[in-house]
Amino acid sequence: MKNTTGRCVSFDFTGRFLPPVYIIVFIVGLVANGWGLKSLLHNWKKLKIINVFILNLGLADILYLLTLPFLMVYYFMGGKWIFGDAFCKITRFCFYLNLYGSIGFLTCISVYRYLAVVHAVRVMGRLTLTRSVGISAMVWVLVSAQSLPDVFYTKTYGNSTEKCVDTTTNTYVESYLNYTLGRTLTGFCIPFLITLGCYGHVIVVLCRTNTTDKVQKQRSLRLLFILILLFSVCYIPYHVLKNLSLWSRVLCKQKIFVKWLKGADIAYQISRGLVCLNSALNPLVYLLGNEDIPAQFRQLLQQARQRVSRLPPTNSGSVPMAQLTGV
Per-residue pLDDT of the chain (327 residues; tens, 9 = 90+): 445 554 554 447 788 889 999 999 999 999 988 887 877 777 666 667 788 888 899 999 999 999 999 999 999 888 889 998 999 999 999 999 999 999 999 999 888 888 887 887 777 777 788 888 999 999 999 999 999 999 999 998 876 558 899 999 888 999 999 999 999 999 999 999 999 898 888 878 877 776 656 666 677 777 777 888 888 889 999 999 999 999 988 988 888 877 777 788 888 989 999 999 999 888 887 666 555 555 665 666 676 677 777 666 555 444 443 443 333
Q: What is the CATH number of the domain that holds 240?
A: 1.20.1070.10
In a domain, 323, yes or no: no
Half-sphere exposure (CA, 13 Å, Cβ side) for 314? 3
Instruction: Return the bridge partners of 164, or none.
Output: 156
Pairwise CA distance, residues 312 & 28, whole Å: 31
Tell me what pLDDT residue 25 has: 94
Tell me what pLDDT residue 325 has: 38
In a domain, 2, yes or no: no
Instruction: Return the bridge partners of 163, or none.
Output: 157
The sign one gets for the Cα dihedral 309, 312, 313, 314 is negative
In a domain, 215, yes or no: yes
In a domain, 142, yes or no: yes
In a domain, 104, yes or no: yes
Segments forming the whole domain that contains residue 176:
13-294
In a domain, 4, yes or no: no
Based on C-alpha coordinates, what's the Rg of the chain?
A: 24
The count of structural domains within the chain is 1
Tell me what pLDDT residue 311 has: 65
Tell me what pLDDT residue 323 has: 40
Q: Are 200 and 111 spatial neighbours (Cβ–Cβ below 8 Å)?
A: no
Residues sharing a CB contact under 8 Å with residue 224, sequence separation 6 or more, in sequence order: 199, 202, 203
Pairwise CA distance, residues 66 & 237, whole Å: 24
In a domain, 299, yes or no: no
In a domain, 275, yes or no: yes
Half-sphere exposure (CA, 13 Å, Cβ side) for 72? 14
Q: Are 241 and 271 spatial neighbours (Cβ–Cβ below 8 Å)?
A: yes
Cα dihedral 208→214→218→219 (10° resolution): -110
